[in-house]
A and B are shown apart, each in its own frame.
Chain A
C-alpha cells in the first residue's frame, strides 16, 4: 500500500507518455547490439576483416529462419567495423535486396551506382545492361589484390537472386571471388535451408560452401549458460526497463527528446522486476515461447502491451499482457462466424452435417438447400425464406472463403451444382454457435446433434 502511494506521487502524466515513447522505441527498433551467436558473428567478422586487410576474396551464406536476426547480425558487424579506420576508408559496401532488385539489370544498375563507377553521374547510370555488366566486370577484373579497394556485396533474400535468368549475376560475382582479381566478399542472406539446391552446378562449384546457420533460441555461445526460456525472461526484463542512471541516456541511446527522471526509472524497474517473478506472467510467457521462439513476434507482443499505457492507465498489469496475448492466440475464423446472420449460420451448420455424414466429400448448393429446408420444415419457429435469398446467403459464405470450389473458378457448371469443399472444422462451428448471442435454441441444438 505504502509503495502504491509513493508511485502515485511520482507518476506524472508527462512521465508516463515519455516512458511509453521510450519503451516503444526500444522494442520496435532493435539496437545493433547483437546478443547471441558469438561464434557465427566472429566467423563473418573475420571474413570481412580478411577481405579488407589482406585482399582475400570470399563468399558465404547466412541461413536461418525468418526473424532469427540475420540482418541484425550483419548490421552490428558493419557498425563495429565502421569504427575501424582502415575498413572505413578502404571498403566499399554494396547492398542488394532480392525483393527490390528483381532482375539482374536492376541489380547491376544499383551496384554500379553504389560503387560510384565512372559511368555514374550523380545518381544516374548510363548505358545498357550489357554495357554495364561488361564495364563492372572490367572494373573488377582490372583490379588486383594490391591496389584496388575491396568490395563487400551483401545480398539480402539471396534465394530470389537464384531465380534470375541463368543466374548471370551470381555466376559473375562468384567467379570474381574465385579468381585473382579485385578482392570481393559476397555474403548472401536467406531463410531457405535448401538454398544450395537452387544454384546451378557451375555457380555452385564457384561458391565456397561456407554456410553459416542461425537458429533462434540457440544460446549455446552466450556468456553464462542458462536455459533458453530464462534468456527470454531476461530479455523481457531488459526491454521493459527504463534507464535509472544519469549517464545511460547519453551512452546507450541518443534520445534527446526522451529524458526520463532516473528516480522514476528505478521505481519503474523495481516494479518490472516484480512482474518477472509473478507466476501468471511467467506461465503466459512460457506459453508464448512454446508457440514461437523468434524474437520478432515477442517484440510485437510487448509493443501491444506497452501501447496500453496512458495517463489514465499508469502501470502495466499482468492483465494487460494477458489481453495482448489473446490477440495472438484467438481463432479469427470463429470470430468471422460470429458475425454471420442466423440464416447463414444455419447453412454453415448444414454444411457441417453434410461433410460429417459423407466424410469430407464435396457438396453443392442443392444438397445444402435440401438439408436446410428439411430442418426448417420440422421446426415451426424457423421462418422459411425463399430460395433466392438462401442462394444469396450461400454466395456470401462463399465470398468469405469458408468454401473452396473443387474445380477452378471458371468452370462452366451452373452455380447451384458447382461442387465445394468446406474448410472449417466442426469444432470451430460448434464453438461459434456457443458464442453466438441470440441464436434460437433449436438451431444451437441442431448444431450439436448428429443426424
Chain B
C-alpha cells in the first residue's frame, strides 16, 4: 500500500430536496474510520429488545463468536450472523487490509471508501439514523391505541390458527425426536397468517435452542440461483471466493455441509414460487436436500398457490421420500376475523370504539371476498381514522357505523373469496387430494362461489364457449342483481379470478387489457358442477338461463 493520498473525485449531483441541501457527507472526514462521528450517521450500539418480527433470524449458537467488537449489540439482523464470523478470507482474492491505523499517517489505505465498505460487512451492523422519541399527543390517545392495536404487526397470539400451529409443532417435534429430515409445503392466499405462524413457532424456546433456523424471503433474490449464496451466508460458512461464485459450486458447498455432522437445521423459504427457473432446477435441488443421508434438515416452503408442488415439480411425486407434506391455510372466516379484531381491541382496552355489529359487518364483507386479514385490519384502521377525524363521540352508534363503514368498504377494493367447497371437490377430482370437501366447504368465500357458478352457467348453457373476464363479469353482475347481493366491480373481479386461479380451478391467459383475459376451466366441469349443485342457491344459478 502506498502512502499516496487517495482522493475520490466523485461528481456530486445534488438532488433538489425541499430542505435545501442535504447533509454534506462529502465533507466527512474518514481519517478515523473506526471511531466514527455519531452525530448523524452511525450509532455504535443500540440496545434493542427483540421484537417479534418475522424477518429476524437468530444468531447461531453453534458458531463461535470470535473476537466481536466489545459493543454488545443485540440487533439480530441477518447481517449479524455474518459479522460473527470474522475471518480475513472475506475479501476474496485481495490481501487482508491492514487494521493498524497510524495517527501520523492519516491518509493510508484504511481511509478509502472501500475499507469503509468492507467494515460494513465485518464490524458494523446496519442501524438506521436515530431520532428523538416519538411525540406524545394529547386527546387522541384512545384512537391511537386502537390504531396501533389494529396495525398488521404480528401479535403474541394468533386466534383462529390454533390447529395449524399445533400441526406444525407436531411435525417439527416428530422430526426433532427422531433426528430425521422432512419437507413441508405451506400454501394459502395472501393474508392468512402463514408467515406469522411460522415466525411465532421458531421463536419458541424449545425450538430455538435445538434448531439452527434460517429464514429467507425469496422476493429479495435477484435470480433463483442467488439463493445458494444467501443460504451459505446465513449458515455462517466462509463466503465463496469471487472466481468460483457459480450456482453449481455454492450448491456443492451446501450439500457438503448437509452431509457433514451438524446441528438440526430448519430452513424456511418464504414466497418460494419466486425461485422458478429454467427446468425448475433450483426448486428441485432444494426439495432434494432433505433426502441427503444424515442431512437433518427440515425444509418449509411458503407460497400462495395450492398446487405448486404438483404443477411445477411433478418429478417429486416419483420418489416417496421427496414428496413434501402439504398444508393449506384457508382464508379466514367471518367468525375468525371477528375474533381477531375484537381480541386486538380488547387488548388495547378500546373495545368500546367498535360496536359488535360494526365488526360483524366488516368481517362479513372481507370474509365473503378474500378472507385476507390484512385487508380487514386496514379497513378497520381506516374506520377508526375516519371516526377520529369526524371527532365523533367515544362510542360509535350503530347508525353512524353504517354510515362510516359502508362508503369505506365500497371505496376499498373488496377482495374475492374462494369457495373452498368447490375448490376441494375439484382438488379431489384432479389430485386425488387429501382434503375433504365437507371439512373445507365453509371456508370458500361466497363471491368466488358466485363467480364459478356464473362461469359454469356460461359453459353449460351459453352459446359462445370462450369466456373473457369482461363477459363473465357481465353475467356475474346479473346473477348478483337478481339475488340482491352486492356485486364487486371490474378490477376487484379480476383479482378474484386470479385468486381462484391459485387454487388451480381456472387458468387465465393474460392479455394486455384485463377485460380481455381469457378464462379456461382447468378442472373437470362435471366434478365442479356436482360440487356446486349441492347447495340450493348455487344450483339455481347454474341453471338460470335468464342471466345470460
* Chain A residues packing against B (C-beta within 8 Å): 46, 53-57, 75, 78-79, 82, 86, 88-90, 92-93, 95, 114, 116-124, 126-127, 129-130, 133-135, 137-150, 166, 168, 171-172, 175, 178-182, 194, 196-197, 201-202, 204-206, 208-211
Q: How far apart are the CA atoms of A126 and B112 in the complex, in Å? A: 12
Taking CB atoms and an 8 Å cut-off, the chain B residues in 103-139 that contact chain A are 113-114, 116-117, 120, 124-135, 137
Chain A residue contacts of B54, Cβ below 8 A:
179
Cβ-defined contact, A134 with B220, below 8 A = yes
Q: How far apart are the CA atoms of A150 and B137 in the complex, in Å? A: 17
Does B514 reach chain A (CB closer than 8 Å)?
yes
Asked, given contacts A53-B137, A56-B147, whether A93 binds B46 with beta carbons under 8 Å apart, the answer is: no
Beyond A114-B15, A179-B55, list 16 extra A-B contacts (CB 8 Å): A54-B134, A55-B134, A89-B132, A116-B22, A116-B23, A116-B129, A118-B126, A120-B25, A123-B11, A126-B117, A147-B130, A148-B128, A172-B220, A196-B491, A201-B495, A204-B190
Q: How far apart are the CA atoms of A206 and B373 in the complex, in Å? A: 10
Q: How far apart are the CA atoms of A115 and B220 in the complex, in Å? A: 19
How many residues belonging to B are interface residues under a CB distance threshold of 8 Å? 86
Cβ-defined contact, B190 with A179, below 8 A = no
Pick the residue among B25, B389, B413 that contacts A116 (CB under 8 A).
Answer: B25
Does B12 reach chain A (CB closer than 8 Å)?
yes
* Chain B residues packing against A (C-beta within 8 Å): 8, 10-13, 15, 17-19, 22-23, 25-26, 30, 41-42, 46, 48, 51-56, 75, 77-79, 113-114, 116-117, 120, 124-135, 137, 144, 147-148, 151-154, 189-191, 217, 219-222, 226, 271, 274, 304, 370, 372, 374-375, 378-379, 381-382, 385, 389, 411-413, 490-491, 494-495, 498-499, 502, 514
Q: How far apart are the CA atoms of A129 and B223 in the complex, in Å? A: 11
Cβ-defined contact, B120 with A194, below 8 A = no
Chain A residue contacts of B137, Cβ below 8 A:
53-54
Query: Taking CB as reference atom, which chain B residue is nearest A204?
Result: B495
Main secondary structure of the interface of B (DSSP, over half): loop
Pick the residue among A57, A129, A143 that contacts B222 (CB under 8 A).
Answer: A129
Chain B residue contacts of A211, Cβ below 8 A:
411-413
Q: How far apart are the CA atoms of A121 and B111 in the complex, in Å? A: 12
Q: Give 29 pairs: A residue, B residue, CB < 8 Å, sorted on A.
A: A53-B135, A56-B148, A116-B22, A119-B117, A121-B25, A122-B12, A123-B12, A124-B10, A139-B128, A141-B53, A141-B55, A142-B75, A144-B51, A145-B134, A146-B133, A146-B134, A147-B130, A148-B128, A175-B217, A175-B219, A179-B153, A180-B151, A180-B154, A182-B128, A194-B491, A208-B381, A209-B375, A209-B379, A210-B412
Chain B residue contacts of A82, Cβ below 8 A:
18-19
Cβ-defined contact, A208 with B378, below 8 A = yes
Cβ-defined contact, B495 with A197, below 8 A = yes
Interface centre among A54, A56, A146, A147 (most CB of B within 10 A): A147
Cβ-defined contact, B129 with A149, below 8 A = yes
Pick the residue among A53, A114, A118, A123 that contacts B120 (CB under 8 A).
Answer: A118
Asked, given contacts A118-B42, A172-B219, whether A201 binds B126 with beta carbons under 8 Å apart, the answer is: no
Chain B residue contacts of A121, Cβ below 8 A:
8, 10, 25, 30, 113, 116-117
Cβ-defined contact, B53 with A134, below 8 A = no
Cβ-defined contact, A201 with B498, below 8 A = yes
Cβ-defined contact, B190 with A201, below 8 A = yes
Cβ-defined contact, B51 with A180, below 8 A = yes
Q: How far apart are the CA atoms of A145 and B304 in the complex, in Å? A: 30
Pick the residue among B18, B79, B374 that contacts A206 (CB under 8 A).
Answer: B374
Cβ-defined contact, A149 with B128, below 8 A = yes
Chain A residue contacts of B382, Cβ below 8 A:
208, 210
Query: Taking CB as reference atom, which chain B residue is nearest A90?
Result: B131
Q: How far apart are the CA atoms of A138 and B219 in the complex, in Å? A: 14
Q: How far apart are the CA atoms of A278 and B31 in the complex, in Å? A: 72
Chain A residue contacts of B494, Cβ below 8 A:
197
Q: How far apart are the CA atoms of A451 and B295 in the complex, in Å? A: 88
Cβ-defined contact, A134 with B78, below 8 A = yes
Q: How far apart are the CA atoms of A180 and B152 in the complex, in Å? A: 8
Q: How far apart are the CA atoms of A147 and B47 in the complex, in Å? A: 11
Cβ-defined contact, A118 with B124, below 8 A = yes
How many Å from the CB of A76 to the closest CB on chain B? 11
Q: How far apart are the CA atoms of A55 and B56 in the complex, in Å? A: 20
How many Å from the CB of A451 to the closest CB on chain B? 41
How many Å from the CB of B400 to the closest CB on chain A? 19
Pick the residue among B17, B126, B144, B190 that contacts A135 (CB under 8 A).
Answer: B126
Chain B residue contacts of A123, Cβ below 8 A:
10-13, 26
How many Å from the CB of A136 to the closest CB on chain B? 9
